[in-house]
Amino acid sequence: MFYNKTKEEVVLELNSNEFNGLTKIQAVDNLKIYGYNEISEEKKESIFKKFLMQFTDPLIIVLMLASIISVLIDPHEWLESLIIFIVVLFNAILGTYQENNAEKSLEALKKLSSPNSKVIRDGEKLIIPSREVTVGDIIVIEAGDYIPSDARIIEAFNFQVDESSLTGESLPVLKTSDSINGEDVGIGDRKNMIYASTICTYGRAKAIVTSVGMNNEVGKIAGYIVNSEKEITPLQIKLSQVSNIISYMAFAICFVVFVMEYFNNGNILESFKTAVALAVAAVPEALATVVTIVLAIGVNKMVKQNAIVRKLPAVETLGSCSVICSDKTGTLTQNKMTVVKAYDVESGLVDFDKNVNSDIRKMLSYFTLCSDGSVKEEDGVIKLIGDPTETSLVSASYLLGDKKEELEKSYKRVAELAFDSDRKMMSVIFEVDGKFLQITKGAFDVILDRSISFEGSEKAVKVNEEMANNALRVLAVAIKYHQTLPTDISSDNLENDLTFVGLVGIIDPPRAEVKEAIRQANLGGVRVVMITGDHLSTAKAIAKELNIYKENDLAITGKELSNMSDDELLEKIKHISVYARVAPEHKVRIVNAFKKLDMVVAMTGDGVNDSPALKAADIGCAMGITGTDVAKSASDMILTDDNFATIISAIKEGRGIYANIRRDVAFLLSCNIGEVFTIFAASLLGLFGFSLGVPLYPIHLLFVNLITDAFPAFAIGMEEASDDIMEDSPRAKNESFFANGLGITVIWQGIMIGMLTLIAFIIGSNLNQETGVTMAFITLSTSQLVHSFNIKSEKSILNKRAFNNKYLLMAAAFGLITLLIISEVKFLADIFSLVPLSLDRLAICFGLSLIPLVIVEIAKYYKNKLNTKMN
């Protein structure tokens, strides 16, 4: 811990020299010992390995086994196998493409270091690549320079550093070379240390490098990112469960059917053929593709809503989130210091706007003149140059029409006394109409002590306390006239007997849209928690204003968090709404604590310090405008407009997508259960002397699964989220995919479709086997098209949203037309082993197909009636 040692002790310990730096020989030796000043790279999997991993899904294995067995039994049936392999290959390529958008966190971290650095070696000032900076180097830092590595300051002149990307502190930190007492001082309070990835905003300094590369604070963050485990999302877990269930059922039923068929006909090849047909029926070939495409559609919608999703399942995961851990600076707030209150001795306290009176305007012009910041407009864009506090003062005058450059035409600066952290003041002298006006700004208590007594001083003290309690940064301004230009430009000579003018209250204000977004989140059962590196009072005030912090809530600091055991944190975490002055490891700990409570956690942020937590969260949301490359690379989703409200849109979209995927799974599985039931029941009847034969062939089942199943499923996946979806509570993390009776519904609806198909087969078989197969095929296909309209909504089909999905209407029309073409065009009918049907038999098929509509409508009616009574 170099911050609690004197600069002389640090220089001696690192075997360097304050004035001459390292020798070139020492620098070479240290590079060998400590390595280059760069971030280690994470070893990545090859594209080929990622491609092969796509074939480990049980569902894919079942499909491939079915296709291989089919070709081995009957080489003439290569068409079915080819279709299966095309589907499998398409899914594998799509999955590989998504995974190949590799994490680039470490490369982004490397970019944060400046390409070159100024060092002193052998007494000479050199410019070298930042990766060659080593421990013991004396580095020279000036305004605008990136800090190349962690270092202990040995010399500082009005030296200010923007550490927001590392600590979350919204204001630049004034640094010093003095040692700090204490063994446990947070990064944000180490005033004599500077860190890689931060930037000097003001002044200059010399410092001695104390660590490089992975040993820097930013390197440790990189280590957190590399070491954090990649977790699969809730959707992936649930779909994996579905795949496993289908696989085990398919193997078991295929074996049973093979045995039954062998007892029925004694022909092992025919029995294998029936078992393969059942395998094709049991496995919903389109499931993986449909889910992928539904997620991709959701991603495209999110792009239009200013969110870029880097991983397909991320949209659904965000839809199931129950807590959002949000950074404050730049996420909930504008990351722009702004004057919000103004106090003048004559006018009193007012909210700042463009309609303030002339006294307030005059006071603000004093603040503007006594500052080094500036505001410029380039191509219609306002640019703030300088310290954020000073630019907030200049911006206030700018909004009132008082441009700093115009004011300076009347006020000629002739002398100044720079800001000093000990004095907490800055003074500037102007020549005005032959006189000399001194303007002094600084901390309220200091300015008040240096001012002559005035009426209303007690009121000013109360106003200062009121603004400070609301977490405003308070600055005071005073003036003093001189007949001649003072020759002694010192604090003792100038900064006394001042005439107090007024105060301003400054804050990084909340984004206008955030309060409404948080209200919507709370309405949807999603809790918002603030995690920031800023001071507790500031964080608490912003949280109160945004309704994040409520009565009986707790607000704690990172130090208090460190003193908590894991059990104590788990006990209190439901009541803690604000975490302030936290380090990167604190954020990860908070995220992991929520996850231990089985909550789906979303984390928002924009800085380097946020990236480990973004990676650890179930869904990491980085800011696109203010976000660092590190944060973006560690995230699952990037908000291109830095708008917190976009997260709520994403939650709504995610919930809608999850609902659509459940509908798709319900539709596809109920249809496949119908197919399995048809074949299984026909084989079972054969054991009792009713030798009906195989009602459906593999090519029929592939047609059904890929035309009358897949296309309606794609369309169902494009259903718009219902308006009231945000009024529902988030799903529990461990909630089964088939919760709320979905599993039972799928089974009975599947059996219903299977029974209707079997009835059609039996009716047709009374004439001949070919007619029975044809009637079964047409009934199964049309009943599934009808059933797709049942599935699209839990409400009755007889409502205004029943036919609002044009894609479902087109899918149904396409399936029906394709079915008619196959059954009526002779050479296609021959390929599918179909025969022409009479009108009465076609009417029977279509009549049976409409029965699911009636039965499901009755079921919906009683289910909704029961839910209404329970509520």
Query: What residues are labeled active site?
Result: 327
Which phi and psi (to 5°) does residue 129 adopt? -60, 140
Name the residue with tokens 């989220």.
721
Location of structure tokens 């703030």: 384
Cα separation, 237 vs 241, whole angstroms:
6
What tokens does 254 get? 């295929």
Amino acid letter, residue 123:
G
* DSSP classification of residue 207: E
Cβ atoms of 636 and 309 within 8 Å: the answer is yes
Number of other CB atoms surrounding residue 733 within 10 Å: 17
Alpha carbons within 13 A on the beta-carbon side of 689: 0
CA dist 356 and 58 (Å) reads: 70
The tally of CA atoms less than 13 A away on the side-chain side of residue 65 is: 17
3-state secondary structure string across 382-448: EEEECCHHHHHHHHHHHHCCCCHHHHHHHCEEEEEEEEECCCCEEEEEEEECCEEEEEEEECHHHHH
Q: How far apart are CA 309 and CA 96, in angstroms?
A: 16
Euclidean distance between the first and the last CA atom of the chain, given in angstroms as a whole number:
61
CB atoms within 10 A of CB 454: 12
Q: Which amino acid is at 380?
A: G
Helices marked H in 35-139 — which ranges? Answer: 47-53, 58-73, 78-99, 105-112
Measured CA to CA, the distance from residue 406 to residue 393 in angstroms comes to: 15
Tokens at residue 808, please? 């479902």
Closest CA to 327 of 733, 628, 633: 628
3-state secondary structure 11-25: HHHCCCCCCCCECHH
Other Cβ atoms within 10 Å of 820 Cβ, number: 12
Which DSSP string do the residues of 645-687 spell out, in sequence order?
Answer: HHHHHHHHHHHHHHHHHHHHHHHHHHHHHHHHHHHHHHHHHHH
DSSP class per residue in 452-495 = PP-TTHHHHHHHHHHHHHTTPEEEEEEEEEESS--S--SHHHHS
